């Protein structure tokens, strides 16, 4: 069994602390949902875990089976078994999904020529159009197709832990079901541990969480079982210290030149 253990994590951008002490432990096979209003720090948590440039860690740790991830380059975190499905997947002109995954396999010490078949199987499994496999990665994909694409990568790469940053956004009901089922299957088939960031409890009907956390203003203010997500659906986040309107800066583009930046942001 593997464990992703985040403790006392304080991080932000140069001018401001955004995460003010996060403690969270996810074991393999578990699904933890992180819910919270706009601007509460959900994506920052995802970025800091994966090592996106432009964020600074002020205190705390994030360990995967005891190995400290913070401070490692992103590719080494990926090698350690961490995967991020981005809220805004990057468009990569000139590189197909198959090319990208082939190189990933080789970088991990695998052989060439294994990816094509795996991709076909995964695409079939979630009902992803085959034509999209050979097109440049995410270029001119719809919002939903990008999220399918992230799910496909997750299926092929089989990480130990996946951080899903609003994988539900842009998906219609059928697509949401297909994506959730694939992720849910990974938790039982390959013991994937999941940190599912979402605004809405809808995805949690399919991707049943073991634990639900509410992130508000950079802190986890309450944790509970699946019933907490249902309660939030009814009451909103007001009860959890999120009375202020979401900041107008939510999802502000990063200050630094950043290869992962959403070009449309």
- Sole residue written with tokens 């969270």: 24
Of 31, 30, 32, nearest in space to 22 by CA: 32
Nearest approach, Cβ of residue 246 and ligand ADP (Å): 7
Which residues touch 72 (CB under 8 Å, ≥6 apart)? 51, 80
Q: How far is the CB of 41 from Mg ion (least distance, A)?
A: 9
- Interface with ligand ADP by CB under 6 A: which range of 89-97, 125-133, 156-164, 249-257? 249-257
The DSSP annotation for 9-44 comes to EEEEETTEEEEEEEEEEEETT-EEEEE--TTSSHHH
Of 43, 180, 187, 198, the one binding ligand ADP (CB under 6 A) is 43
54 binds ligand ADP (CB under 6 A): yes
18 binds ligand ADP (CB under 6 A): yes
Tokens of 59: 């205190």
**Residue 164: CB minimum distance to Mg ion, A:** 11
Choose the one of Mg ion, ligand ADP, none that binds residue 107, judging by a C-beta under 5 to 8 angstroms depending on kind. Answer: none
| Helix 143-157 / helix 97-107 crossing angle, nearest 10 deg | 30
Dist. CA 73–CA 53, nearest whole Å: 10
- Site residues for Mg ion per CB under 5 A: 42-43
247 binds, among Mg ion, ligand ADP, none (CB under 5 to 8 A by kind): ligand ADP
Q: Residue 145 CB, nearest distance to ligand ADP (Å)? A: 22
Reference 175, options 146, 139, 138, 212; nearest CA is 146
The CB-of-61 to Mg ion minimum distance in angstroms stands at 23
On the 0-12 / 13-18 / 19+ scale of CB atoms within 10 A, 99 is middle
CB 193 within 8 A of CB 210: no
Give yes or no for residue 261 binding ligand ADP (CB under 6 A). no
222 binds, among Mg ion, ligand ADP, none (CB under 5 to 8 A by kind): none
Tell how strand 82-85 and strand 161-165 pair up: parallel
35 binds ligand ADP (CB under 6 A): no
Number of residues binding to ligand ADP, judged by CB under 6 A:
18
**Could you tell me the smallest distance in angstroms from the CB atom of residue 135 to ligand ADP?**
28
Among 32, 42, 146, 147, binds ligand ADP (CB under 6 A): 42
Which residues bind to ligand ADP, rule: CB under 6 A? 13, 18, 36, 38-44, 54, 247, 249-252, 254-255
């Amino acid at each position: 069994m593997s464990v992703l253990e985040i403790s006392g994590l304080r991080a932000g951008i140069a001018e401001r602390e955004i995460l003010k002490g996060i403690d969270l432990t996810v074991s393999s096979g578990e699904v933890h949902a992180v819910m919270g209003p706009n601007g509460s720090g959900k994506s920052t948590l995802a970025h800091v875990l994966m090592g996106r440039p432009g964020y600074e860690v002020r205190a705390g740790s994030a360990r995967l089976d005891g190995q400290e991830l913070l401070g490692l380059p992103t590719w080494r975190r990926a090698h350690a078994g961490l995967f991020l499905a981005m809220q805004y997947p990057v468009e990569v002109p000139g590189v197909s999904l198959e090319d990208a995954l082939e190189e990933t396999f080789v970088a991990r010490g695998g052989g060439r020529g294994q990816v094509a078949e795996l991709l076909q199987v995964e695409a079939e499994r979630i009902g992803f159009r085959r034509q999209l496999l050979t097109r440049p990665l995410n270029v001119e994909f719809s919002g939903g197709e990008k999220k399918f694409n992230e799910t496909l990568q997750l299926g092929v790469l089989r990480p130990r832990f996946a951080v899903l940053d609003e994988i539900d956004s842009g998906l219609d009901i059928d697509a949401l079901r297909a994506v959730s089922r694939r992720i849910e299957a990974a938790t039982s088939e390959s013991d994937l541990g999941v940190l599912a960031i979402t605004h809405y409890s809808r995805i949690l009907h399919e991707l049943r969480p073991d634990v639900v956390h509410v992130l508000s203003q950079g802190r986890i203010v309450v944790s509970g079982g699946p019933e907490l997500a249902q309660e939030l659906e009814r009451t909103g986040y007001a009860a959890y210290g999120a009375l202020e309107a979401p900041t107008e800066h939510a999802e502000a583009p990063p200050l630094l030149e950043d290869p992962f930046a959403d070009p449309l942001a």
